[in-house]
A and B are shown apart, each in its own frame.
Chain A
Amino acid sequence: MQTILTMREKEKAFSEIVKRYKNTVFTVCYLFSKDQEEANDLFQETLINLWQGFDLFQGKCDVKTWIWRVSFNTCLTFERKKKRSVETVPLNMEINLFTDTDDDTRQIQQLYHRINRLGVVDRAIILLWLENMSYEEIGQIIGISTKNASVKLVRIKEQLKKMSND
């Protein structure tokens, strides 16, 4: 049952959800950005969209599905800025996944390059699959049937195979 929250309660609930799913949001922003600043902008915009949709979300669908949808939809429609904005609050991170050169980051960068060679939908689908989501959940987030999701995944795997052979 949907309950009416006070602004303070709403903000608290919102910050708890974001803290819990920050990795998911950042992962999507990272994989759809070309540098750290763009990832910052995307992250900020995703937070705004999550906050905007928070009232609508409450109780309607699974939190995870909601977070993925908003993150993908934001990355999809976000206007990449030609000039850097001073408004964006930099992310509270010690690491830079685009420029760091340690072994772990190199592994992550390899994942970034593999995924970035795919089309937008394919990028989203493989990411969801790698996160161990079921075909049904993938279909719900992307807006395709379960069968279609499984067929697409087979094709993506073939595409990745072809790319790795090239």
Chain B
Amino acid sequence: MENNELEEMRAQLATLNEKLESESIVDRKHFSEATKKHVSELQRKLIGRIIMFTLLTAYFYWKLELGIFLLWSLGLLITSIYVYLIVRKGDSVSMPVTEYARRIRKARKIYKIANMTMWILTILLILAWGTYVFILNWPSNIAEAFAVFFVCSLIAFIMGISYYINNVCVSSYVELMIEDILIDLDKDYQDAE
């Protein structure tokens, strides 16, 4: 690519700007949508999680027989609040692209670990419960013992596969983008050294 081609790109961008100049693009509806929403999509998601885990924590606290889940929901509540604070602090206004990417990466990493812990714990609890019922009914009621154990194993298996597909196989677009940015920059720093 010589200067000509770069100049061509510049001309194409000018064409784009010219085309956009004749379009109004935004109207009153866009402004009212923007001004009535005070949090971004990511923040809204996290607020949803915080509400959910607060309710769950309260529920498990009062339902003593389910106390085993209390630590689990409390842990996830704290993590969600922590991630929310990281995201909130990392305002996209004052931060340059790379700094913002680093902050979001940190938040997503914590979010991912918390998510993984939740899934693994849930799977283990389902399996443990299935085993407990199995032992309890064995050998007096073999059919029920096997049925419960089978259903629990099946649920655990489906949950495991679903987690694997959603979180291990499919990296989200955002993560790929952030990794792209940071790998690129790290490479540059190494070259500079």
Chain A positions near chain B (C-beta within 8 angstroms): 11, 14-15, 18-19, 22-23, 26-27, 30, 43-45, 47-53, 56-57, 60-61, 66, 69-70, 72-74, 76-80, 89, 91-95, 97, 104-105, 107-108, 110-111, 114-115, 119-122, 124, 126-127, 130-131, 140-144, 148, 151-152, 157, 160-165
Q: How far is the CA of A43 from the CA of B33 in the complex (A)?
A: 12
Q: How far is the CA of A43 from the CA of B63 in the complex (A)?
A: 45
Q: How far is the CA of A102 from the CA of B39 in the complex (A)?
A: 39
11 additional contacts (CB under 8 A) given A14-B31, A130-B6, A163-B1: A23-B25, A48-B34, A49-B93, A51-B35, A77-B104, A92-B27, A93-B25, A111-B12, A121-B185, A140-B96, A165-B1
Q: Which 8 pairs show the lowest CB-CB distances between chains A and B?
A: A143-B96, A53-B93, A161-B1, A73-B92, A143-B98, A111-B12, A47-B34, A23-B20
Q: Does B64 contact A (CB under 8 A)?
A: no
Identify the closest chain B residue to A122 (Cβ).
B184
Instruction: Count residues on chain B whose CB falls below 8 Å from chain A CBs.
Output: 56
- Give B192 Cβ to nearest chain A Cβ, in Å: 7
Is A50 in contact with B34, judged by CB distance below 8 angstroms?
yes
Secondary structure type dominating chain B contacts: helix
Is A110 in contact with B98, judged by CB distance below 8 angstroms?
no
Is A76 in contact with B16, judged by CB distance below 8 angstroms?
no
